[in-house]
Each structure stands twice: as C-alpha cells, then as structure tokens.
C-alpha cells in the first residue's frame, strides 16, 4: 500500500495565514447583516432549531450570542458531530477514521437546551413539532437545519452493508464508510481494472466530492505505477461535469489530460455486486458498465419528516425531493414567515456546502433578531458555495461561485480560482477544519 504524504507546510506560512486561507472556503460571500448587533436583544421568544449539524450548531451559537432570555432548543438525536469535508481525506488514506468525529455536546452553547430526539412531524400551522419520543414542542421561530438523507435504497441491489466489499466504496456514508472506501480503492489501485465514478441526478451536497475522488484514484494509480493497468470512467448524470459551466469545462480538460473517460447522461439505477456490474439509465435506454471498483454516490433527499410536511416545496424543481421552500436571499419560508431554513435541506438553487452555511447563518440569525426587535433587515445570501476541488494529492482548485454562476474568489490576485495549487490543497488538508469548528462556535 503506497504511503502518500503531503508536503510539509512552508514555515513562512503562519498558522494565522493558513486559517485565513481555510476560511476562504468558509470566508467570502456577500452578506449584509446590519451592524446593529453589539447589544443583546432581550426576548422571551421560543426558538426551535431542528438539526444540530454544521448549520444548526452555527445558528444556535450565533443566536445565543445575540439574544438575552430567548428559549433556544436544539433537536437532534445524533450524539456525534461529523466534520464531513474530512471524509474525502479519510477516503484518500491521509486522515484516520476518527478525524471527522467529535461530540455534538461539545458545540452546544451554554443556555441552549439540546433535546437528543429527532423531529418526526412538523406542524407549521400550529407552530409545533412532534419528536421521536412523542413530545410536542411549541415555538415562535423554527429553523429547519436537518441536512439531507442519502437514499441508497433508490439504487437497486445497493445497501450500505456492501461498502467495503466486492470493490464497492462510498465516501459519503460516514467516517467508517470513507475508511472502507480507502481500503477498496487502495486494493484496486494495486491490482488494476476498471474504476467507476458517478453522481446522482438529485441535488447533492458538495458536488465536487465525486469528482475529487476520481482525481485522487487516478493520482494513486500513477504514484503506484499501475495506471496503465487501470481504466477510469466518470458517469455524469447530465451533459456536464459540474453545474458551473466554466468549472465543468476545466474538469473536462483535466479528465481528458489524465485519461479519465466520461459517460454523459448516465444515472445509476442498479448495482450487481456479484457480477460487478452497474446499470445506468441513459437517453438510449439502460446501459451496463462493469467495474472492479466503484464509488457509489446515492440520490439525496430531504429527511422524511421534512419531505412529508407542509414545509416542503409544493411544486417546482425542489418539490419531488421535499426540500424546504424558502426565499433564496433571506432563507425565510415563503408561506410560514416564522420559519427559516439553512444548510443542505434548504430548497434554494445552490448552497449545499459547509462554506455556504458560513454565509447563510448570519442572514438567518439577522432576520430572526430583527423580527424579535420589531425591525426590518436587508441581510441577504448570494448563493455562495465553495469547495476546494482536489485534483491530485498535494494540489487543489478553489472553486467558489454564487447563484448566478459567477466565480467569486476570496483572494483575487492571490489564489486563482481554476488553477491547481498547493496552497489550495493546504487549505483543504490543514486549515479548513479549524475554520469549520470556529464556524460552529459562531466565530468564523
Ligand atoms: C464527502 C463530503 C465532502 C464534503 N466536502 C466539503 C468541502 O470540501 N467543503 C464544504 O464546504 N462542504 C463540504 N461538504 C458538505 C458539508 O459537509 C455539508 O454541506 C454540511 O455538513 C451541511 O450542514 P447541515 O447542517 O445542513 O447538515 P449536517 O451537517 O449533515 O447536519 C444535519 C443534522 O440534522 C440532523 N437531523 C436529520 N434529520 C433530523 C430530524 N428529523 N430532526 C432533528 N435532527 C435531524 C442530523 O442528525 C444531523 O446532525 C462535504 C460533504 C461530504 C459528505
């Protein structure tokens, strides 16, 4: 098994510089919360936050810092907190299985009540939720931050038990799955054969992650000198590799340069682990592709409690998978004015990254504080989404864009957005996690 180590950090790059870079992914975006926030606003408002992941914890910490006397409750049955951008590094064999894991309790601010139960029913007309333990909780404001569900069952023949066996990996399913994916990929790049990568046709979090893993696999094979025994194919769900045209073109060029084949308009529908065959829906009918290693990225949907509630979009492109209906600038629900949404579950055109949460949270918090204080806010989220797109071990491109597909570089003139840079790699490998954790505390 090849041990690949990233280069040592340039001693001239101080910790502060690195943190500033890490915050690039988590650092820009046009937000205009007013500065009228120094003094705490006194209120007895009951604020429920459904979901204590990246978004829920960030909002809880920011609200706790802005409000005095508010009764803030976080609802989430999960005791562990997962730093999901770390999964790719685990699946690249560069970080240990426990690197992404911390405890939810660690990030819950004092004065905020964490109820370790899930929401099973949202009743926005009654301003109430029901929990998995059957409790009903009433609220004045609700923040829906439940993240999304990975729907492995939508791929016939696929279950999460298969991850780590029969050449099947899946970076998304959690730290253990990411580690097992690394083991499968490592064996595959030793032996050779056909490697298959894909993404679902649904909305998804971090749309760069499936691409990154194709690049990482290619890089390992080259470092092991087995690349000539390996065929790599990326099955794109549509006729592009990424939603932002200029990024898609850059990835297409890099894939061509690295001999990674692309099969466009291929949506994974079934997998046969015994025969190692993946079946795709294509405009020409069903097509089978054989593999020795596959990174399965399943369809993604809003969690059932959200999807089945009145909070979900009732029509339009976000209705089928039940994403929360919201104004894309204010993140306020368009039918229930006391409800906001944030993070992966939000039914807005972009924004399913932790970096997006960084720029959504101040907007949501600013509007809640303004409502409580009986004033108006013009805080707006511009769709900022970013991801350091790893193109090989030690190199990444910083991809940052907004709702209009404009590239919005955090460091114009310093970090070129579509260049494969070592400095961008360092952001992903070293600086992003501390910045993310500072974000959870409401400090980044
Ligand atoms: C492989 C991978 C790589 C990534 N890379 C990057 C990257 O490089 N950069 C980047 O910025 N982002 C990246 N991301 C995306 C980022 O991790 C997510 O966008 C971010 O975690 C979203 O935060 P969230 O709070 O919406 O969801 P989560 O962090 O998933 O939290 C959702 C929480 O809601 C809880 N919940 C679910 N249902 C309910 C319910 N009914 N009631 C109560 N609670 C509920 C869950 O238990 C969970 O704790 C990556 C993600 C993955 C998987």
Atom 39 of ligand 1, residue of closest alpha carbon: 146
More confident residue, 444 or 138: 138
Lowest mean pLDDT among 20-24, 188-192, 286-290: 20-24
SS3 assignment for 355-411: HHHHHHHHHHHHHHHHHHCCCCCCCCCCCCEEEEEEEECCEEEEEEECCCCCECCCC
Residue with the two structure tokens 């491109």: 397
The CB density around residue 194, as the number of other CB atoms within 10 Å, is 17
Residue 238, SS3 per DSSP = coil
Q: How many other C-beta atoms are found inside a 10 Å radius of the C-beta of residue 319?
A: 14
CA distance 250 to 262: 14
Nearest atom in ligand 1 to the alpha carbon of residue 343 is: 26
Q: Which domains does the chain have, with CATH numbers?
A: 15-148+302-384 (3.50.50.60), 152-299 (3.50.50.60)
Which residue, by CA, sits nearest to atom 20 of ligand 1?
A: 354
Cβ partners under 8 Å of residue 363, min gap 6: 31, 33, 329, 330, 331, 379, 380, 381
Q: Is the pLDDT of residue 21 over 60?
A: no
Nearest atom in ligand 1 to the alpha carbon of residue 131 is 42
Task: Show the 3-state SS of 137-199.
Answer: EECCEEEECCCCEECHHHCECCCHHHCCCCCEECHHHCHHHHHHHHHHHHHHHHHCEEEEEEC
Q: What pLDDT, on a 0 to 100 scale, did the predictor assign at position 416?
A: 86
pLDDT at 30 over 90: no
Strands 277-282, 267-272: pairing is antiparallel
List the catalytic residues.
Answer: 206, 387
From the alpha carbon of 87, which atom of ligand 1 is closest? 1
- pLDDT exceeds 80 at position 2: no
Look at residue 46 in the predicted model and tell me its pLDDT. Answer: 98
Separation of CA 146 and ligand 1 centre (Å) = 8
Residue nearest to ligand 1 atom 1, measured at CA: 172
**C-alpha to C-alpha distance for 76 and 53, rounded to whole angstroms:** 8
Distance 172 CA to ligand 1 centre (A): 10
Confidence of residue 116 (pLDDT cuts 50, 70, 90): very high
Strand partners, 149: 301
Element (H, E) at 136: strand 136-138
**Cα Rg for the chain, rounded, in angstroms?**
22
pLDDT-derived band at 13, boundaries 50, 70, 90 = very low
Q: How far apart are CA 174 and CA 98, in angstroms?
A: 11
- Whole-number pLDDT of residue 26: 59
Report the chain's mean pLDDT, rounded to a whole number: 92
Give the distance (Å) from ligand 1 centre to CA of residue 341. 13
Atom of ligand 1 nearest to the CA of 345: 26
What is the reported pLDDT for 24?
53
Task: Return the percentage of the chain with pLDDT > 70, whole number.
Answer: 91
| Among the ranges given (118-127, 308-317, 407-416), the one the predictor scored with the smallest mean pLDDT | 407-416
CA of 288 to the centre of ligand 1 (A): 32
Helix (H, G, I), strand (E, B) or coil at 68: strand
| DSSP-derived secondary structure for 207-254 | TTHHHHHHHHHHHHHHHTT-GGGEEEEEE-SSSSSSSSHHHHHHHHHH
**Residue that is written with structure tokens 């089945």 in the block:** 308
Residue whose CA lies nearest to ligand 1 atom number 7: 85
Query: Ligand 1 pocket test: which of 60, 354, 430 has the largest number of ligand atoms within 8 Å of its C-beta?
Result: 354
Question: How far, in Å, is the centroid of ligand 1 from the Cα of 84?
Answer: 7
Cα 172 to Cα 169, 191, 394, distances in angstroms = 9, 24, 22
Tell me the CA–centroid distance for residue 258 and ligand 1, in Å.
Answer: 31
Atom of ligand 1 nearest to the CA of 346: 26
Q: What number is the average pLDDT over the span 211-240?
A: 98
pLDDT at 341: 99
Rounded distance between C-alpha atoms, residue 144 and residue 343, angstroms: 9
**pLDDT classification of 32: cutoffs 50, 70, 90:** very low
How does strand 128-131 pair with strand 136-138? antiparallel
Residue 172: what pLDDT? Answer: 98
Q: What is the mean pLDDT of residues 387-395?
A: 94
Mean pLDDT of 144-155: 98
Mean pLDDT of 419-429: 91
CB 352 within 8 A of CB 403: no
Write out pLDDT tens, residues 151-203.
Answer: 999 999 999 999 999 999 999 999 999 999 999 999 999 999 999 999 999 99
Q: Give the residue-averaged pLDDT of 92-116.
A: 97
3-state secondary structure of 330: coil
d(CA 343, CA 300): 14
pLDDT band at residue 415, thresholds of 50, 70 and 90? confident
Pull the structure tokens for residue 286.
Answer: 């069903």
| Average of per-residue pLDDT across 93-120 | 98
Q: Which residue has the tokens 């790699």?
A: 425
**Residues 6+ positions from 15 with CB-CB distance below 8 Å:** none
Do the Cβ atoms of 440 and 61 come closer than 8 Å? yes
What are the tens digits of pLDDT across the range 37-85?
468 999 999 999 999 999 999 999 999 999 999 999 999 999 999 999 9
Ligand 1 residue neighbourhood (C-beta within 6 Å): 25, 50-56, 75-76, 78, 84-85, 87-88, 118-119, 145-147, 171-172, 205-206, 209, 303, 305, 343-345, 352-355, 357, 387-388
Distance in angstroms (rounded) separating the CA atoms of residues 72 and 70: 6
The Cα 60–Cα 345 span in angstroms is: 17
How high is the pLDDT of residue 444? 85
pLDDT band at 5 (very low <50, low <70, confident <90, very high): very low
């Amino acid at each position: 098994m090849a041990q690949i180590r990233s280069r040592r950090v340039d001693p001239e790059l101080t910790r502060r510089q690195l943190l500033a870079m890490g915050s690039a992914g988590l650092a820009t975006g046009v937000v205009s919360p007013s500065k009228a926030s120094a003094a705490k606003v006194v209120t007895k408002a009951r604020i429920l936050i459904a979901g204590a992941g990246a978004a829920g914890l960030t909002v809880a910490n920011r609200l706790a810092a802005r409000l005095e006397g508010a009764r803030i409750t976080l609802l989430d049955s999960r005791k562990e907190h997962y730093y999901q951008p770390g999964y790719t590094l685990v699946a690249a064999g560069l970080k240990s299985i426990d690197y992404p894991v911390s405890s939810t309790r660690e990030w819950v601010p004092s004065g905020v009540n964490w109820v370790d139960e899930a929401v099973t029913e949202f009743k926005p007309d009654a301003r109430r939720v029901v929990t998995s333990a059957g409790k009903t909780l009433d609220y004045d404001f609700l923040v829906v931050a439940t993240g999304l569900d990975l729907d492995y069952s939508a791929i016939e023949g696929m279950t999460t038990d298969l991850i780590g066996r029969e050449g099947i990996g899946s970076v998304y399913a959690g730290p253990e799955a990411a580690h097992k994916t690394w083991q499968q990929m490592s064996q595959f790049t030793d032996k050779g054969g056909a490697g298959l990568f894909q993404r679902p046709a649904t909305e998804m979090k971090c749309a760069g992650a499936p691409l990154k893993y194709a690049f990482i696999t290619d890089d390992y094979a080259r470092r092991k000198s087995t690349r000539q025994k390996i065929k790599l194919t990326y099955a794109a769900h549509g006729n592009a590799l990424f939603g932002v045209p200029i990024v898609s073109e850059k990835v297409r060029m890099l894939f061509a340069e690295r001999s990674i084949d692309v099969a466009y308009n291929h949506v994974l529908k079934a997998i046969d682990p015994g025969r190692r065959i993946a079946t795709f829906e294509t405009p020409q009918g069903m097509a089978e592709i054989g593999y020795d290693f596959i990174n399965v990225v399943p369809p993604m949907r809003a969690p059932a409690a959200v999807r089945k509630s009145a909070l979900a979009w009732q029509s339009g492109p976000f209705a089928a998978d039940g994403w929360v209906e919201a104004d894309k600038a204010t993140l306020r629900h368009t039918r229930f004015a006391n409800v906001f949404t944030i993070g992966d579950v939000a039914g807005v055109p972009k924004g399913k990254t932790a970096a997006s949460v960084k720029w959504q949270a101040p907007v949501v918090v600013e509007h809640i504080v303004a409502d409580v204080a009986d004033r108006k806010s013009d805080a707006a989220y511009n769709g900022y989404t970013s991801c350091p797109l790893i193109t090989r071990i030690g190199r990444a491109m910083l991809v940052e864009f907004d709702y209009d597909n404009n590239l919005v570089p955090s460091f114009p003139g310093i970090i070129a957005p579509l260049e494969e840079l070592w400095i961008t790699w360092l952001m992903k490998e070293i600086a992003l996690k501390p910045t993310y954790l500072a974000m959870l505390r409401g400090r980044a």
